[in-house]
Amino acid sequence: MRYVMKQKLFCFGDDFTIKNEAGDDVFFVDGKVFTIGQKLSFQDMHGKELAFIRQKLLAWGPTYEIYRDGQLAAVVKKHLFTLFRCAFTVDVPGPDDIEAQGSFLDMEYTFTRGGRQIAEVSKRWFSFTDSYGVDIADSEDQVLLLASTVVIDMVCHADHKQR
């Protein structure tokens, strides 16, 4: 399934929608204002919270926790010491961690699990310069991967945030 997202909209306090490939709104992200650390509620279009994203403040490097139904579902962490590349780990319970690698500033990267590509983020599918697509394998957790994409955008475009 392919989703459409807007670049640099994942700023503290912003609300925005995620669209499907046909242009229909499918998810809503509610940025929480006046909180310590960044907090976002990832909802369906009926207002049901599907995931909650919270910045982990006392961590070595950019780290965010994703909760589903009140339980920790994943920790998204930027690798600090990589040579010639940027990378993130989506640490999920068990042995199925997800890696994200590529050009995050250009919004051209992939998510892999066990060496197998499970999702791709790319601007090349769109003529609009501020839009990019997230193409996720149907068998994968759509909400978890979209929430991880939101985190990566917040971390990689932190210098573009409007406060």
Residue range of the domain that includes 132: 2-160
31-83, pLDDT tens digit by residue?
Answer: 876 566 788 999 999 999 999 999 988 777 789 999 999 999 999 999 876 65
Q: Return the pLDDT at 58.
A: 77
- pLDDT, tens digit, 9 for 90 and up, residues 104-148: 777 789 999 999 999 999 987 766 566 788 999 999 999 999 999
- How many domains, in total, are found in the chain? 1
The CATH number linked to 31 is 2.40.160.200
- Closest alpha carbon to 11 in 35, 37, 36, 38: 38
Q: How confident is the model at residue 161 (pLDDT cuts 50, 70, 90)?
A: very low
